[in-house]
Amino acid sequence: MFEWINSLSKKPQRALVVGSANVDIVARVPRLPKDGESLRGNSMSVVFGGKGANQAVALARIGASVEFISAVGGDHYGKLMKQNFTREGIVVSAVKTVAGETSGTALIFVDDEGRNSIVVIPGANYKLLPEDLVKNKRHFEGKDVYLTQLELLPETVEAGLFLAKEKGLITIVDAGPPRAISEKIFPYIDIISPNETETEFLVGIKPTTKKEFRKCANSLLKKGVRAVILKLGAKGCYYADDSQELYVPGFKIKAVDTTAAGDAFTAGLAFAWGKASLDEILIFANAVGALACMKFGAQPSMPILAEVKTFLNSIRKIGE
């Protein structure tokens, strides 16, 4: 049933990711604290994260050829992040080091059910400017897909999309964190992929039923995007464009940390796009996202392609 995955690695997707890079300070807690409450945590760890970096690492691990454009601080963490990207096989020649600035930081609480609450301090991420992308526009050449998120300055997000479409790339926007998107850039987006919270922020409707899925997707399609993929957490995902729609349910798993599930899903989507049928692509993306929920930490949780194959084959055997 999943033999098509073998074809994904024959001609690796060439991906350019433009996005954030953070240091994640993660506190494990029995439950998320209430307003004004001091709560004793279970443990604390420091790992690498940031939506852009997470997606770049996830893509590299499942076999894509990845270049990353970002900005890190001129601090110890910035140096460590660049070293980590290199270890993952990511080209980082366009990752900017900002002297005198701290690297982006995320404060993350994860409870015993794997749910999370996150506060992000942009730091050096907000020093990645449109002119940096123009200066590095050669990195937009020879790529298949362009992946970005909303943790950078809005004008930088816009500039990246304009350059990507100028070079003929498939553009994928992970619509997180929730932030207003300029109306003028929607026509430059081939695929927009918000989660439930981000969808509600963008269109004013929380998608809970299939009828609402379509209504939310239509609102975004009318703005000029070519396709919408709603990330629905444990419920799976929903795809719609002007001619078709498809709902793919999620996998039943025991989640321990959902922090990077959406980033993993989006990376899986970008990796498989154009290499399989639509339902196969969405099943693959769901699987990558599910596996990322089964380990602690953002980047540490990202699976390799062999793990995705094993997971899908085990699901097939259960269903036989």
CATH at residue 283: 3.40.1190.20
Which strands make up the sheet holding 116-121, listed edge to edge?
43-49, 22-28, 104-110, 116-121
Q: pLDDT at position 1, please?
A: 59
What positions carry a catalytic annotation?
263
* Residue 266 covered by a domain: yes
Map 227-262 to HEC letters: EEEEECHHHCEEEEECCCEEEECCCCCCCCCCCCHH
Omega before 207 cis (within 30°)?
Answer: no
pLDDT digits 0-9 by tens, 250-301: 999 999 888 899 999 999 999 999 999 999 999 999 999 999 999 988 899 9
Q: Which of 94, 125, 111, 129 is nearest to 40 (CA)?
A: 111
Q: pLDDT at position 318, please?
A: 42
* Residue 252 covered by a domain: yes
* Residue 114 covered by a domain: no
Q: Who contacts 209 (Cβ-Cβ below 8 Å, separation ≥6)?
A: none
* Residue 112 covered by a domain: no
Range of the domain at 209: 11-21+51-103+124-319
* Residue 32 covered by a domain: no
Dihedrals φ, ψ of 170, to 5°? -75, 125
Q: pLDDT at position 316, please?
A: 60
The secondary structure element, H or E, covering residue 172 is: strand 170-174
Enumerate residue ranges in the chain where pLDDT < 50. Answer: 317-320
Q: What is the pTM of this model?
A: 0.92
